Amino acid sequence: MANSNILELWKEIQTLVESLDLDVTKNASGNASAGVRARRGLRLLKSKSAELVKTTIAEEKAKK
């Protein structure tokens, strides 16, 4: 069950990175609104990554 949580979080992170790709590219071309969306997405990516780390650590501790 916990493995499915880890994989589910990983899929969310992958989807988020894919969606950020377009906004980062647009921002590099000078689109300021895309920069706002990219930064918001990056903050979300940071929190999701931290959540994945905590989940994997908890899973490893549970196995011991």
Q: What pLDDT, on the 0 to 100 scale, is given for residue 2?
A: 66
Question: How does pLDDT run across 41-62, given as a tens digit for each residue?
Answer: 999 999 999 999 999 999 999 9
pLDDT of residue 1: 56
pLDDT tens digits, one per residue of 13-47? 999 999 999 999 999 999 999 999 999 999 999 99
Please say whether the beta carbons of 40 and 16 come within 8 A. Answer: no
Give the model's pLDDT for residue 64: 80
User: Do the Cβ atoms of 38 and 20 come closer than 8 Å?
Assistant: yes
